[in-house]
Structure 1
Amino acid sequence: MKCVLILLLCCHAVSLVKHSLKYFFTETPGAQSIPEYVVVAFVDEVPIGDFNSVRGAKPKKDWIKFFEDHPQHLEWYRLKSVDRHHFLKATIETLRQRLNQTEGVHILQKLDGCEWDDETGEINGFNQYGYDGEDFLALDLQTLTWIAAKPQAVITKIKWDAQKGRVEENKNFFVDQCPEFLKEYLRYGRRFLQTTVLPSVSLLQKTPSSPVSCHATGFYPDRAVMFWRKDGEELHEGVDPGEILPNNDDTFQLSVDLNVSSVTPEDWQRYDCVFQLSAVKEHIVTKLDKTMIRTNWEKPADTVTFISAAVVVLTVTIITAVAFVTYKKKKAPDDGSEQSERLNPQS
């Protein structure tokens, strides 16, 4: 079962009129190479800042001015983050004892936030937990009860359902406070939240037998999809989709590979690669064209030419050497004649 937390966090199909504010928490006590507690805030799937147990709060560069002008927001995040850190760490310890987990590092994830439709005004909140990569609990805001995703979560569900004050506090945040935060962030960040940057798209191939990679880089935001088509129909077989990765300049890159080992030369023109960026109507279509492929491998024709040239050079060298030896032999006098001349100088 795929974790709902990951699906919600990575979903790129976002309606143009539906906006979201999401908080993604991760608690991993005992982890050596990463902070044991991290929370990241997203507006319309774009990170606006994060907090971790090592260095505290850090807004993204586009949001630094907002939090400087609204220090109460940053203080609210700091207090909430510290409180959630202690709560999640204690919850992991409780679950480890309940599930008889005495060793190893375990991970507790939490995703909460709200969505607001700026056309209908509809508001939806969500509060979900995952444990060790699997769904664990989710709050039903209609009934204000917790839904257990697996039998091991039932005891926690019963315990949390009994905490009426905590459930009401959750409801107030998801229905009132979270939407107000979201609208305030949208007013401030609408200019750069709606900014879109199209990528440059290239065809890449390591060797003649390697898949052809359709590579897009430099796009923003990260709500994008890319796929291969044949005769206008999206392909799934022989295609290896990649993940959206960040660049150093806050833009993103994405690749999708196509296995061309069974594609005949006359069929190449039937394939193309399509890049789609959310909120941009025009798509970037790149035809599968051998002449447009960028590669670092040496073409066979070039190799043959190099070998041929080497053979010619070697042949010329040998001929020159033979001619030089022959010339030297002709120039050199006969040993017997020279000796005779020295013995008979008068002859």
Structure 2
Amino acid sequence: MLAMNLLVFFVAAVQIYSVAPVIHTLNYFETSSQVAKLPDYLEVAYVDGVQIQQFDSNHRETKVKHDWVNKITQDNPHFWKRETENSIRNEQVNKVNIEIAKKRFNQTGGLFTSECPLVKFISCAGVHMIQLMKGCEWDDETGDVDGSMHLIYDGEDFISFEAKTMTWIAAHPQAFITKLKWDQIDEYNEASKNYYTEKCPSDLKKHVSNGRDFLTRTELPKVSLLQKTPSSPVTCHATGFYPITSSLFWRKNGEEIHEDVEMGQTLPNHDGTFQTSVDLKVEVTPAAEREYECVFQLAGVSEDIVIKLDAGSILSNARIQEEQDRKKAVTIAVPLVVLALVAVAAAVLAKRLKSKQAKYSQASVSTDSEPISG
């Protein structure tokens, strides 16, 4: 139940790294938690939205997700040793940070008291989480680079760092102590700026060069119409596409519509592709079938995928269940659930940053962590 609650929390929305085609990103997502069945610490890295590596506290070594990622060791044979050491160090720092944050927020009350309302049940029950998005971006046309860090504690913005301005931004009153401390550590700030604007972009450029064929590929999706009940909205669902830069929308009589339309989430699939959906509130009548159609557009592909509204092609709950049974998609192993949680958490953090461009940089990656102070 707790894992499901976390998944619901993470699935707030997506557009992971929705950036211009010439902007490349290297992002690390750290999740430190006290959640049962989740590793104490997970760290995943993405290049242009594609997962390239993973570390977790159960296995304690960095695992590569694609063969081309290993090419980076041609220039630096000790690259993965360094990455693993950094992850272990970050794991220890984040353990300390959770304990510091618990004291900072005075999280010692009992359940369902005035000090611990129902909305804070998970935190008060002793389950706490730190999420960190760190990374850099590189414009391969202008050569511009930038980087930043964004930290969230128990689902709330805490503090962030902008590399170009070397500015710490306290997003929560309890973070001002941390901001004051880190503002005064010149060596830490310089090391952070050097990492985000030099070391991280250097690694990013190597990954982009090594994985260019994979990262520039195009995969078209399967597009289906779904409906839970005859009175439910009709969902247009596209899955299996790459890259993430895409559009999915409904048209009426040839014109894109927004009324009675609800956009779904863009989520990562286990194979590195993506899925998204869009709902339309409509009564499926012969007249509506003549008027409405769902359209999918993918960056770099000139021809649209168009699916006409057709009652005969809509998959109902029963037909969806039949397909799931046929594919034996009945159980999901815990490790896959963990990966899904991390991937979606990454998506949510990315959107949080995008929605706050006036305050935070668009991308974020990794230097040695520093405790948030007691």
Gap regions ≥5 residues in structure 1 = 299-347
How big is the alpha-carbon RMSD for the aligned residues of Structure 1 and Structure 2? 2.7
Q: Which aligned pairs between 1:234-313 and structure 2 lie closer than 5 A?
A: 234-247=256-269, 249-261=271-283, 264-295=285-316
Quick one: which amino acid aligns to residue 282 of structure 1?
E
Aligned to 2:147: 125
Aligned to 2:26: 21
Quick one: which amino acid aligns to residue 60 of structure 1?
K
SS in 1 for 2:28: strand
**Gap change, CA 1:127 and 1:248, over 3 Å in 2:** closer
Aligned to 1:309: none
Residues 252 and 292 in structure 2, CA contact (< 8 A), matched pair in contact too:
yes
SS in 2 for 1:39: strand
TM-superposed CA distance for 1:68, in Å, is 6.5
For residues 107 and 313 of structure 2, the distance between their equivalents in structure 1, rounded to whole angstroms, comes to 55
For residues 8 and 20 of structure 1, the distance between their equivalents in structure 2, rounded to whole angstroms, comes to 19
TM-superposed CA distance for 1:140, in Å, is 2.9
TM-superposed CA distance for 1:178, in Å, is 0.8
**Gap change, CA 1:85 and 1:240, over 3 Å in 2:** same
SS in 2 for 1:187: helix
Equivalent residue in structure 2 for 1:11, among 8, 16, 25: 16
Higher Rg of the two aligned structures: 1
For residues 180 and 258 of structure 1, the distance between their equivalents in structure 2, rounded to whole angstroms, comes to 45
TM-superposed CA distance for 1:253, in Å, is 3.2
Residues 39 and 50 in structure 1, CA contact (< 8 A), matched pair in contact too:
yes
**Gap change, CA 1:170 and 1:100, over 3 Å in 2:** same
Give the structure-1-normalised TM-score.
Answer: 0.75
TM-superposed CA distance for 1:215, in Å, is 2.3
Residues 224 and 278 in structure 1, CA contact (< 8 A), matched pair in contact too:
yes
TM-superposed CA distance for 1:260, in Å, is 1.9
For residues 6 and 127 of structure 1, the distance between their equivalents in structure 2, rounded to whole angstroms, comes to 21
Moved more, 145-154 or 206-215: 206-215
Q: Relative contact order: is structure 1 or structure 2 higher (C-alpha 8 Å, sep ≥ 6)?
A: 2
**Gap change, CA 1:91 and 1:288, over 3 Å in 2:** same
TM-superposed CA distance for 1:202, in Å, is 2.3
Give the structure-2-normalised TM-score.
Answer: 0.70
Gap regions ≥5 residues in structure 2 = 1-9, 109-123, 320-374
Residues 23 and 140 in structure 2, CA contact (< 8 A), matched pair in contact too:
yes
SS in 1 for 2:211: helix
Aligned to 2:363: none
Moved more, 17-26 or 232-241: 232-241
Quick one: which amino acid aligns to residue 205 of structure 1?
Q
Quick one: which amino acid aligns to residue 32 of structure 1?
A
Quick one: which amino acid aligns to residue 40 of structure 1?
V
**Gap change, CA 1:110 and 1:266, over 3 Å in 2:** same
Aligned to 1:184: 206
For residues 297 and 181 of structure 1, the distance between their equivalents in structure 2, rounded to whole angstroms, comes to 48
Residues 242 and 274 in structure 2, CA contact (< 8 A), matched pair in contact too:
yes
Q: Which aligned pairs between 1:128-277 and structure 2 lie closer than 5 A?
A: 128-247=150-269, 249-261=271-283, 264-277=285-298
Moved more, 66-75 or 112-121: 66-75
For residues 124 and 279 of structure 1, the distance between their equivalents in structure 2, rounded to whole angstroms, comes to 26
TM-superposed CA distance for 1:245, in Å, is 4.3
Residues 230 and 271 in structure 1, CA contact (< 8 A), matched pair in contact too:
yes
Aligned to 1:76: 82
Moved more, 98-107 or 159-168: 98-107
For residues 162 and 6 of structure 1, the distance between their equivalents in structure 2, rounded to whole angstroms, comes to 37
Moved more, 129-138 or 140-149: 140-149
**Gap change, CA 1:160 and 1:68, over 3 Å in 2:** closer
In the alignment, does 2:46 pair up with 1:42? yes
Moved more, 92-101 or 196-205: 196-205
**Gap change, CA 1:93 and 1:15, over 3 Å in 2:** same
For residues 43 and 107 of structure 1, the distance between their equivalents in structure 2, rounded to whole angstroms, comes to 24
Aligned to 1:57: 62
**Gap change, CA 1:19 and 1:64, over 3 Å in 2:** closer
Residues 137 and 146 in structure 1, CA contact (< 8 A), matched pair in contact too:
yes
Q: Which aligned pairs between 1:93-104 and structure 2 lie closer than 5 A?
A: 93-102=99-108, 103=124, 104=126
SS in 2 for 1:256: strand
TM-superposed CA distance for 1:265, in Å, is 3.2
For residues 70 and 162 of structure 2, the distance between their equivalents in structure 1, rounded to whole angstroms, comes to 36
Quick one: which amino acid aligns to residue 50 of structure 1?
Q
For residues 188 and 162 of structure 1, the distance between their equivalents in structure 2, rounded to whole angstroms, comes to 39
TM-superposed CA distance for 1:254, in Å, is 3.0
Residues 31 and 130 in structure 2, CA contact (< 8 A), matched pair in contact too:
yes
Moved more, 283-292 or 156-165: 283-292
